[in-house]
Structure 1
Amino acid sequence: MGLAGDVIDYRLLFRGAPTAFVVLDPELVIVEASDAYLAATARTRAELVGRPVFEAFPDNPTDPEAGGPAAWRASLHRVLRERVTDTMPIQRYDIPSVGGGFDTRYWAPVNAPMFGPGGELRYIVHRTEDVTEYVQARRDEDAPDDLWARTEQMESEVFARQRLQEQNRTLQTVVDSVDAVVVGCDPDGRPVLYNEPARALVGDRLEGLPAEGWGERLHLYTPEGCPMVGTDSPLMRVLRGEWVHGAEVIMRPPGAPRQVFRLHGRPVTGLPGLATVVTMHDVTVHRRVARFKECELEVSRIVARPGPVEDVLSQAMECVGSMTGWAAAEFWAVDDVAQVLRRTSGWVEPGREPLSDLPDPLLYGQALPGRAWQTKDAEWETSTQQAAGESLSRAALAIPVPSGSLVLGVIVCYSDTEEIPDDVRTAIQTGIAAHIGEMLERQRAERLAAELDRTRDEYIALVGHELRTPLTSIEAYAHFLLDEPDLPAEHQRMLHVMQRNATSLHTIVTKLLDVAGMRAGHLTLRPGPLDLTAVVHEAIDGITVDTAAVEVNAAPRVEIEGDAERLRQVVDELLTNALTWTDDDATVGVQVRADDRTAVLTVSNAGERISVEEHARLFEMFFRGRSAHHRGLPGAGLGLTLARVIVELHGGTLTAGQPEDPVTTMTVRLPVRQSPVPSVPR
């Protein structure tokens, strides 16, 4: 027995082992052999070491059907390719005899990989057993009893070997047929089993590498973007005996598109050398489609918010870039005057340099954005297609932003990894561009409408002021002439017509100026406490028709806060309008009521109903219905417009009843005057 401090001579142990071993390097050159192997093959170490294995053990040229060398070569290549142990069935492999020629031999071999400290495959160990006696005994019924006993033992071992080999082949066939990535690991987390998708995904990067190193080697990340390292990773949890189901893993190697996997793992018992099995399902496409849909929804929310176009576009580009996996995104707007594209907003992933050095502006058809503008269709560009100086990215997608047959701009997305043109991504990005196009068209329409309104109001104000001065003079001189004592009756009649028409025109001009001023925010109210019931009665008393045609139902007193003069204008307009349209034998109904918070004034008439088409336009400036024109009723279509503006300035509403109602009702709702809330004694 050796002492505890003795140094073990592993070379001596290997050479003296009672089992036949030969060690090969990855080039299939013999680097060492055990004494038992030398004895079994009748070779010396000097004859074998340093020689390619199939040069040392060539085919038997006298046996054209010899399949042993081919089977051995296939097994060794499987070990090199898949990094797994391969157990071969019994093989006939004749070896050169000492006196010349070949001796017939049968072998039961196993080939196993051996890995270095860094996980690289260093050697292949070929262990074999000479089973020639067993094979020959099965063919010779006169063999001695001791040979038969040995044969029965070998037969049992061979049966177990064949059964294991069949199970391994069946298992490998099953896992290779699975669409997911399947990797089996030993107790240290080193891979010992791969299927075809796993070999295609990781190649030889996990050779002999424990599970704690997978995250760094494969560039694995959590959904939050954190590197997947340490003992809390799903792989390490499986090795600790946990069952992991549906953990999301992101593979993001430099210079390649990221992939998303759903990882499932479980411990395995009862299989020597296999401790865990991990499967990874590629859900990249599903995640991408879901992410794109989320992005499209978020962009639709962004473009629906009010705000400057530049700010909205910047937010939309950030959303498009960050949510759909691009490294940068830009918006190029079409300059209608210069007929060029101009970069108006953009986003770059934090920590990255700009991925585009395109000139600004771009001409029609120039570079990727210009081509998308020209073709009015999505344009992809990969690194192999890029012209020198056009882009610093490795892939880009340009999507035109449409408005009917016009292109308002181009969205350009850049990637710093290789990308394959993707119909799903193109379709979603096109949908996003449509939302932005609708926003730009809406903004343009709103801007034009605002400019039109402002121009109209300015024109009305200008014309009104220019007309009011001469009208005032006409009214004053007509009044002065009417005071002449000897004026003929015919002249008096003409002056009265002149004065009446000038006053009517003056009223229209005043209404025009009021509407324009209120719309521009230049007209202020003079609010104060008032009684709405009193305002209504004053208005009724001031009408020039028979007051019996008006039926009043009003609360004794309704206190509100408002401009009495302006609210009197509202009541006058509603009463005049109702009396104009009511039938001769009908009455106009007026109601005034209030609750704790709201005062309500309604004016109703049972005259001609309002058509559905005209109902929606009642409060438009200058609108007059067909019946008004047909009956030759005076007016300019300003009264209801002005009345609504006055009510809204008081914080209230003015609405018309529905066209199908038997009675036409105008309803004014105003906030009542609130009494101070008494303090509560403590």
Structure 2
Amino acid sequence: MSGTQEPIDYRALFRSVPTPVVVLDRQLLIVDVNDAYQTATMRSREELVGRPILAAFPENPRDPSSPGVAKLAASLERVLRDRVTDVMELHQYDIPQAGGGFETRWWAPVSVPVLNAAGELTHIVHRAEDVTAYVRAQREDIPGEPEAQTRQREAEPFAHQALWEQRQTLQDLADSLDTVVIGCDTEGRPVVYNEAARTLIAGRLAGAPASRWPERLHLYAADGGPLPGTEVAVTRALRGEHVRDDMVVMRIPGTPPRSFRMHARPVTHRSGLAAVVAMNDVTALRRVAQLTECELEIAKLIAGGGDTDGVLARVVRLIGVMTGWDATEFWIVDEVAGVLRRSARWAADERDALRPPPGPLPAGRDAPGRAWQTNEPVWATGPDDGPRRAALAAPVSSGSNTLGVLVCYSDTPRAAGDTRTASLTGICAQLGGFLERRRAESLAAELDRTKDEYIALVGHELRTPLTSIQAYTEMLVDDPELSAEHREMLEVMHRNVAGLNAVVVTLLDVAGLRSGYLRLDRQPVNLADVVRAAADDARARAGERVTVAVNAPATAPVDGDPHRLRQVAGELVNNALTWAPDASTVGVTLHADAHATVLSVANTGRRIPEEERAQLFELFFRGSAARHHGVPGNGLGLTLVRAIVELHGGTISVSETGEPGETATVFTVRLPAGPALRHA
């Protein structure tokens, strides 16, 4: 026996295979045929090579209802699309004859994909077993044929048909499932799909090994982090591991994120199939769980306390992070100006979060304005917010009174009317109750304290005796025969009585304004003149210690009581002077638009403790810094300011910016814009 083996001539082997075989390229052009195929089809290799197979064997015009051509085309398309072997049922496919006309033939075809090293389909090997004799034998026996030969002749087509029926049943069963099912080869390349997999994958895994699945399908870990190709379920199955309930998130650009629970296991009993992967879409279940968890976290956040603005800022961030929105906002109803103003915003993209806030929104404009106007949730597509593709705006209400609007934005299309609407409505109900409780608690507590303190400390009968005492001490001080010791005692008495009288007058003003006994003398007022006058008085008192800078337009019309507004401006500037350090500047800013007139008074100095800010406007409240450093005052000025502002239909607030030691405290008064002043 020779030590060397003669090389195998594969072309000769192919052409000698006794079963009819044709090789097709990706365009279904005939590349080669073997001798058995030429004999079965009665066509030469020269007649067939280079022609489309469906053109080489067209339909029989005498039998246009025959499905043979259509079935063959569908089978080959499936092999091209899914890169899987396709076994066809026995079917009739007539063959053109050399002398004209067609000969009726029956075939048992099988088509097999040929893949290169990258998993790409290069050719299709199509075997077409001629079973015409078997079919005819079913209709009439062949005389003289031995029984054993007859059984053998019948066995192969029957087995082919049984195999096709079994495969078709399994395929139909798999296609009926909502679960994605994918069979893979030893490299993790998909070779078998069901209908759910074809719909989801849409060719993304063509020729891709297991390590490329996260990249091709945009798969991420459940927490949103990267998913290495070595840890994806199919890779683990190829290592022999049985994987269950592996949660992944699919983030295909331009589509909403979807959550899947992946299962995978190795396959060892079938050649060509090494692993099977199943993917269950649990997006809806995951969303419900996230929304429920979000509602619980918001309930904890609200119950934990803190200032209202801080709670709202944390709420919008929590909603965005936990429920998968790209941006969230809270718009507060500005009752003075009759518009919506954005008070809190969160965005997944930090650069987006730093965008300057938009202007006020009237009722009916954009998604927030429509939700406010209708007091109903509003879905919008393509809102005017940069690249946003969808928005859900839900009103935050207390009864029939809308307090604000919560808005969620998405960069991908979202389906209206799903569970997010119901959940966001529930969150808004929590926020509405929170805001209403904050307002009610503050008002009730303040009214109770005001009533008790007023009854205990102040009465109209005190004003007359105090005035008398003050007048008589002034007369006694003017007596020229009074000794120096007695004069000093009377001056102390006069100062104390004057201070006590001022407290009583302020208390009566506050009580009268809140109860309605004192009314405003409303008239057109140029608030700019009022503010400048208050600043001039402050400069006279401050001297060179502090600079008072005013930035105001020539006119700022409001409808109000000039005397009371002068009290507001004067008290705010005096308060700023009290706390401003030497050589600093108190800034007074006034501006107006079509909706409101805004007065801001700012000074640098000590930071106000967060827990004290909400109490600054309460009756007799004095902060810890004022008490510990002997700063004069009675805790009534800011209470009176708020009473006057609210009686004008306005609001007052305090905010701070900057670092400790360089804190800027800003008091802001907002009043409804008045009619334009007429100048003679």
**TM-score (structure 2 length as normaliser):** 0.63
Whether the 8 Å CA contact 1:313–1:331 is kept in 2: the answer is yes
Paired residue for 1:392, among 367, 384, 387? 387
Structure 2 residue 421 is matched with structure 1 residue 426: yes
Which residue number in structure 1 is paired with residue 399 of structure 2? 404
Matched, 1:131 2:116: no
2:431 aligns to what? 436
Counterpart position of 2:306 = 307
1:76 matches 2:76: yes
Give the SS at the match of 2:458: helix
User: Which entry has the higher C-alpha Rg, 1 or 2?
Assistant: 1
Per-residue Cα deviation, 1:41-69 (whole angstroms, up to 9, x for no partner): 23233322332222211223344564432
Partner of 2:21: 21
Cα distance, 1:205 vs structure 2 = 1.9
How many Å separate the matches in 2 of 1:452 and 1:224? Answer: 49
Find the counterpart in structure 2 of residue 317 from structure 1.
316
Q: Percent identity?
A: 56
Letter aligned with residue 95 of structure 2: I
> How far did 1:306 drift?
2.0
| Larger displacement relative to structure 2 (99-108 or 425-434) | 99-108
Q: 1: CA distance between counterparts of 2:355 and 2:171?
A: 48
Query: Can you list the C-alpha shifts for 1:237-268, whole angstroms capped at 9, x where unaligned?
Result: 22222222222121111111111122222233
Checking the alignment, whether the CA contact within 8 Å between 2:107 and 2:132 is kept in structure 1 is yes
Inter-partner Cα distance in structure 1 for 2:2 and 2:434: 88
Q: Deviations over 1:71-129 (max 9, x none)?
A: 32232233344432111233333322333333443332111233455555443321222
Q: CA deviation at 1:419?
A: 0.6
Asked if the contact 1:133–1:151 (Cα under 8 Å) also holds between the matched residues in 2, the reply is no
Q: Is the 8 A contact 1:262 1:280 kept in 2?
A: yes
Contact 2:342–2:357, Cα closer than 8 Å, also in 1: no
- Matched residues in 2 for 1:6 and 1:413: separation? 74
Residues 134 and 277 (structure 1), Cα distance of their counterparts in 2 relative to 1, 3 Å cut: same
1:393-446 CA-to-partner distances (Å, cap 9, x unmatched) read 111110110011111111111111111113311111011111111111122123
Q: Distance in 1 between matches of 2:342 and 2:205?
A: 46
Residue 207 of structure 1 deviates from its aligned partner by 2.6
Amino acid at match of 2:61: P
Partner of 1:349: 348
Distance 1:427 1:457 in 2: 45
**Residues 116, 468 of structure 1: CA spacing in aligned structure 2 closer, same or farther, 3 A cutoff?**
same
Q: Which residue of structure 2 lines up, in the alignment, with residue 329 of structure 1?
A: 328
Give the Cα separation in 2 of the matches to 1:356 and 1:27.
53
Aligned AA (1:417): T
Q: Quick one: distance in 2 between partners of 1:280 and 1:355?
A: 39
Contact 2:20 2:128 in 1 (8 A): yes
Q: Is the 8 A contact 1:267 1:277 kept in 2?
A: yes
Question: 2:56: which partner in 1?
Answer: 56
CA distance in 1, matches of 2:43, 2:249: 54
Give yes or no for contact 2:230–2:236 (8 Å, CA) kept in 1.
yes
Moved more, 461-470 or 119-128: 461-470
Which residue number in structure 1 is paired with residue 254 of structure 2?
Answer: 255
Residue 338 of structure 1 deviates from its aligned partner by 0.5
State the match for 2:483 in structure 1: none
Evaluate the alpha carbon distance shift between residue 110 and residue 466 of structure 1 in structure 2; reply closer, same or farther with a 3 A threshold.
Answer: same
* C-alpha deviation, 1:348, in angstroms: 0.8
In 2, Cα distance between equivalents of 1:3 and 1:233: 48
The aligned runs of 1:370-385 (5 Å cut-off) are: 370-383=369-382
Give the letter for the 1:125 counterpart. V
Closer, same or farther: CA 432–152 of 1 in aligned 2, 3 Å: same
Structure 1 pair 11–224 and aligned structure 2 pair: CA distance change class (3 A): farther
- Equivalent residue, structure 1, for 2:88: 88
1:369 aligns with 2:368: yes
C-alpha distance in structure 1 between counterparts of 2:355 and 2:413, whole Å = 16
Aligned to 2:162: 163
What amino acid does structure 1 have at the position aligned with 2:126? H
Name the residue aligned to 2:97.
97
Distance 2:277 2:200 in 1: 14
Task: Give the AA of the match of 2:436.
Answer: E
* 1:274 equivalent in structure 2: 273
- Structure 1 residue 29, shift from structure 2 partner: 2.9
Aligned residue for 2:226?
A: 227
- Retained in 2: the 8 A contact 1:358–1:391? no
2-structure distance, mates of 1:190, 1:150: 43
Structure 2 residue identity aligned to 1:257: P
Matched residue SS, 1:422: coil
Letter in 2 for 1:429: L
Could you tell me which residue of structure 1 aligns to residue 40 of structure 2?
40
Moved more, 341-350 or 199-208: 199-208
Query: Given the alignment, which residue of 407, 411, 420 partners 1:416?
Result: 411
Would you say the 8 A contact 1:355–1:391 is kept in 2? no
Displacement of 1:191: 2.0
Confirm or deny: 8 A CA contact 2:363 2:372 kept in the other structure.
yes
Question: Quick one: distance in 2 between partners of 1:449 and 1:315?
Answer: 26
The amino acid that maps onto 1:319 is L
Aligned to 1:564: none
Per the alignment, do residues 451 and 65 of structure 1 end up closer, same or farther by CA in structure 2, a change over 3 Å counting?
A: closer
Q: Who is 2:294 aligned against?
A: 295
State the partner residue of 1:183. 182
Q: CA deviation at 1:271?
A: 3.3
* Cα 1:374–1:391 shift into 2, 3 Å: farther
Counterpart residue type for residue 49 of structure 1: V
Change (3 A) 1:438 1:138: closer
Pair 1:392–1:190, CA change in 2 (3 A): closer
Any idea what the Cα deviations from partners look like across 1:564-589, whole Å, max 9, x if unmatched?
xxxxxxxxxxxxxxxxxxxxxxxxxx
Unaligned runs of 5+ in 2: 470-499, 508-680
| Conserved 8 A contact 2:182-2:192 | yes
> Could you say which residue in structure 1 is the equivalent of 2:538?
none
Aligned to 2:625: none
Q: 1:464 to 1:152 in 2, by over 3 A?
A: same
Q: What is the distance in 2 between the residues matched to 1:64 and 1:401? A: 67
> Counterparts of 2:56 and 2:449 in 1: how far apart (Å)?
99
| Whole-angstrom CA distance in 2 between matches of 1:468 and 1:100 | 128
Amino acid at match of 1:428: S
Query: How far did 1:31 drift?
Result: 3.4
* 2:205 pairs with 1:206: yes
Which segment drifts farther, 3-12 or 177-186? 3-12
Question: One-letter code of the match for 1:33?
Answer: V
Partner residue, 2:282 = 283
Contact 1:241 1:266 in 2 (8 A): yes
Q: Give me the whole-angstrom Cα distance separating, in 1, the residues matched to 2:379 and 2:245.
A: 34
Paired AA for residue 442 in structure 1: R
Gap change, CA 1:422 and 1:354, over 3 Å in 2: farther
Distance in 1, Cα, partners of 2:296 & 2:230: 38
Provide the C-alpha distance between the structure 2 equivalents of 1:413 and 1:2, rounded to a whole number of angstroms: 81
SS in 2 for 1:109: strand
